[in-house]
Amino acid sequence: MNRRDFLRATLGVAIVGGCAPEVLAQVARIPPASKPGNYDHFIRDYLYKIRNFDAHHQEDVCLDQAQFRLLKSCVARFERLQRTVGHGNFYLLSFDEAIKISSNYPRVGRFTKEELVFLEMIFYSDAAHYGFLGEKPLQNLTARIQRRKVVKVPYTGNYLYKGLPLETYKKVRRDLGREVILTSGIRSVIKQFLLFLNKAYKHDGNLSLASRSLAPPGYSYHGIGDFDVGQVGLGADNFTQRFTTTRVYRKLTDLGYIKIRYVKDNMLGVRFEPWHVKVSPKA
């Protein structure tokens, strides 16, 4: 058994039935969408979950208590690291750079051995195990973003890859004008770790729930070219269904060249994300 198989097996065993009692109590209050039995039931159940993406569901996979403690310390360390290097740099930071900088800055602090094993487990475990069914464009934990291949987009704090992603965004700006804004561009494995783990942390270590809104690290197409757009002035609501009521969304759907990565009722285990533009070359 190689290291990766070992980690996968460890995670597989450890997370089964790991929901905290208070989470299970919450689950009990949610009526099951259907009884198991046939394919129709399965589909109805599946759609119920991705439409109620932020709720705990009966079969959700959760971390156990020991793993939850590691989740908490990793999130805190990533947040200290993000404050130290700045949000812009954090979008591009590789895993190796994160380890090195954390060791050099006492206010961040060195990742413990247990934290590193935990992060490897999260990265190399099969996300289908907890419900995320999309592809994994970044297979390597230490994948790097080459700085010469990216540009910072003015007034957004975000980066895009040169070539198709940048050209697509420019075209959208030309067609929709100044009311459309880039809300999220390139995300390193590290940035995706923070987003995904933070979501799981806020929901009692529920990996299934987290993955219905945020691709696990390695599985996000933000790593290779996708980006999110929003309506200027809508703020954080650009990442909610309210976005579908905006002029930007209406105009976006009229552009023949724009495709949405996570369409309504997709079979990837992910909620509807009308703001997430699919442009990556590998798509």
Which residues lie near Zn ion (CB under 5 A)?
A: 228, 276
Closest approach, Cβ 277 to Zn ion, in A, equals: 8
260 strand-pairing partners: 277
Contact 197, 172 (CB under 8 A): no
Q: What three-state secondary structure class fits 42? A: helix
CA dihedral angle for residue 86, residue 140, residue 162, residue 192, rounded to 10 degrees: -40
Length of the chain: 283
Residue nearest to Zn ion (CB): 276
Tokens 């291949």 belong to which residue?
A: 149
Q: What three-state secondary structure class fits 223? A: helix
- Choose between 204 and 273: whose C-beta lies nearer to Zn ion: 273
- Choose between 1 and 236: whose C-beta lies nearer to Zn ion: 236
Contact 182, 232 (CB under 8 A): no
* DSSP 8-state class, residue 40: H
- Choose between 57 and 222: whose C-beta lies nearer to Zn ion: 222
| Residue-wise DSSP of 64-106 | -HHHHHHHHHHHHHHHHHHHHH-HHHHTT--HHHHHHHHHH-T
Closest approach, Cβ 263 to Zn ion, in A, equals: 13
The pair phi, psi for residue 194, each rounded to 5°, is: -60, -45
- Choose between 8 and 199: whose C-beta lies nearer to Zn ion: 199
Closest approach, Cβ 264 to Zn ion, in A, equals: 15
- Choose between 125 and 213: whose C-beta lies nearer to Zn ion: 213
Contact 58, 27 (CB under 8 A): yes
Number of helices (H), then strands (E), belonging to the chain: the values are 11, 5
Strands 180-184 and 158-161: unpaired
Closest approach, Cβ 25 to Zn ion, in A, equals: 32
Closest approach, Cβ 165 to Zn ion, in A, equals: 12
- Choose between 131 and 185: whose C-beta lies nearer to Zn ion: 185
Report the alpha-carbon distance of residue 91 to residue 247 in Å, rounded: 29
Burial class (CB in 10 A: 0-12, 13-18, 19+), 255: middle
Closest approach, Cβ 93 to Zn ion, in A, equals: 18
- Choose between 71 and 195: whose C-beta lies nearer to Zn ion: 195
Closest approach, Cβ 143 to Zn ion, in A, equals: 18
